């Protein structure tokens, strides 16, 4: 029987959610400086769903090319599955001419952590230096990133939320949060919603409250915040624990929903990075 990779991954995510854990939250506090999994040869970070799958395995720092770097995976070590969506070009000949279309195909690969390999170069095993910051103070780099987006973020206005019709983000004051991690995790969540505006990535935010679409948008915002927290070295937190039941329902109804949310969250973070890179001050996490 042919395996259904979409269903397998969704089942893994649902199992974690049913156990009361969001798999995109927990791992990186124990691995400072190596929060975003990346390729050992190109140093290119992974993105989308396989970031979360590697985090689920406590695998921040997973690499694929041990042999290319002169090392090898130790005998008996077990890898972690990651999934890449490849675009397969389908050509169709018709009476009025040939046409092509792109069909997404999910492919499975196995990766191993650097800790499971021997004889790798020091440049691979050393990892990136940890960024030192105060857990109770505002973070200059993160604040600079927020300013570089141009988002209208109004602090000291009660509850955190994004208003699409007026295109602004409301945030409580920094001092209202238990720690910097909570403040930045929350504002990153709302900033991901902000990218959905029609003038930006144009995700549907209409009639969303209480609907499956709303659960999907909240999942995108949760993942976007998780990706940004990892980049800036903040400990992630679950912004909307009450949505776990809705996410379980969503993933059970649509086996591709998690992949879609991860893809949209990655697009949102890439969009925000683009704004930061185009800013004259040159923000970089």
State residue 177's pLDDT score.
93
For the chain, helix, strand, coil in percent to 5 are 40, 20, 40
User: Is pLDDT larger for residue 71 or for residue 41?
Assistant: 71
Is the separation of the CB atoms in 189 and 222 below 8 Å?
Answer: yes
Q: What's the number of domains the chain is made of?
A: 1
Strand partners, 92: 99
pLDDT above 80: residue 72? no
Q: Is 247 left (phi over 0), alpha (psi -120 to 50) or beta?
A: alpha
* Mean local confidence (pLDDT), 169-196: 95
pLDDT above 90: residue 63? no
**What does R_g of the chain's alpha carbons equal in angstroms?**
20
* 132-153: pLDDT as tens digits: 566 789 999 999 999 999 999 9
State residue 265's pLDDT score.
94
The Cα–Cα gap between 186 and 236 comes to 9
- Dihedral of CA 271/277/279/284: which sign? positive
DSSP 192: H
State residue 179's pLDDT score.
92
* 91-128: pLDDT as tens digits: 776 666 667 776 666 677 777 776 777 876 665 555 55
- What does residue 212 show for φ and ψ, rounded to 5 degrees? -65, -35
Residue 13 lies in a domain: yes
What is the overall mean pLDDT for the chain? 78
Residue 159 lies in a domain: yes
State residue 44's pLDDT score.
60
User: Is pLDDT larger for residue 92 or for residue 177?
Assistant: 177
Residue 283 lies in a domain: no
State residue 59's pLDDT score.
45
Q: Band of the pLDDT at 32, cuts 50, 70, 90?
A: very low
* Mean local confidence (pLDDT), 71-92: 73
Q: Band of the pLDDT at 60, cuts 50, 70, 90?
A: very low
Residue 285 lies in a domain: no
Q: Which domain holds residue 41?
A: 5-278
**Per the structure block, which two tokens stand in for 227?**
């990706």
Residue 105 lies in a domain: yes
Is the separation of the CB atoms in 27 and 16 below 8 Å?
Answer: no
Best CA proximity match to 136, nearest among 188, 92, 70, 180: 180
Residue 284 lies in a domain: no
Residue 72 lies in a domain: yes
């Amino acid at each position: 029987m042919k395996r259904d990779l979409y269903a397998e991954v969704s089942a893994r995510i649902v199992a974690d959610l049913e156990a009361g854990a969001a798999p995109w939250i927990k791992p990186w506090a124990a691995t400072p400086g190596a929060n975003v999994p990346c390729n050992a040869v190109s140093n290119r970070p992974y993105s989308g769903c396989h970031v979360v799958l590697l985090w689920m395995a406590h695998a921040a720092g997973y690499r694929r090319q041990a042999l290319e770097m002169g090392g090898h995976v130790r005998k008996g070590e077990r890898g972690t599955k990651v999934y890449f969506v490849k675009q397969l070009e389908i050509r169709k000949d018709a009476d009025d001419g040939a046409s092509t279309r792109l069909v997404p195909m999910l492919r499975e690969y196995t990766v191993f952590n650097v800790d499971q390999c021997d004889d790798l170069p020091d440049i691979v095993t050393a990892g990136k230096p940890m960024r030192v910051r105060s857990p109770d103070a505002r973070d200059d780099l993160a604040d600079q990133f927020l300013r570089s987006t141009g988002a209208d973020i109004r602090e000291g206005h009660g509850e955190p939320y994004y208003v699409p019709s007026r295109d602004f983000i409301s945030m409580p004051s920094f001092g209202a949060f238990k720690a910097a991690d909570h403040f930045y995790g929350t504002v990153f969540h709302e900033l991901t919603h902000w990218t959905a505006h029609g003038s930006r990535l144009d995700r549907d935010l209409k009639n969303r409250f209480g609907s499956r679409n709303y659960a999907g948008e909240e999942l995108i915002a949760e993942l976007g915040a998780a990706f940004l927290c990892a980049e800036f070295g903040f400990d992630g937190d679950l912004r909307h624990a009450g949505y776990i039941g809705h996410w379980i329902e969503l993933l059970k109804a649509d086996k591709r929903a998690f992949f879609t949310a991860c893809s949209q969250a990655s697009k949102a973070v890439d969009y925000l990075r683009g704004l930061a890179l185009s800013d004259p001050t040159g923000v970089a996490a």
